[in-house]
Amino acid sequence: MSPQNQSRPPRLHQPEQPPSLPAWMLDPPPSRRTAGDRIATALLALPGATALHRRWQVRQDRHRLYQRFPNTMKVVGFVVCFAVTLGLVLAIYALRSSMVSS
């Protein structure tokens, strides 16, 4: 190998060469419309549906409370789960003790 070949990186695709991809990959057929696409198009044709759809998209884009304060929400979730579990265990204990005493 000459020093000139070592310094130049190999060219992967020559512009004058035709692409080696098959025709169906170069010009793919249009995607088929599914039943969901057809239903969504029919629902958006209803009066007021586009405004409702826009409001839904705006609502989906805003940040939720658990996204703004993730660690706080984890701690609150843990405390709530602990309280619910403790309440259920105490309720079962109270029911069981009332059934044993009768």
CA–CA separation, 79 and 72 (whole Å)? 11
Give the CA-trace dihedral at 18, 24, 28, 31, to 10 degrees. -170
Question: Where do the DSSP E strands lie in the chain?
Answer: none
Q: What is the pLDDT of residues 88-102, one digit of tens each?
A: 999 999 999 988 876
CA–CA separation, 81 and 68 (whole Å)? 21
Q: What is the pLDDT of residues 43-102, one digit of tens each?
A: 889 999 989 988 988 887 777 778 888 999 999 999 999 999 999 999 999 999 988 876
pLDDT on residue 82: 98
pTM of the complete model? 0.41
pLDDT on residue 3: 53
CA–CA separation, 17 and 70 (whole Å)? 54
Q: What is the pLDDT of residues 2-35, one digit of tens each?
A: 555 566 666 666 667 676 888 888 888 888 889 9
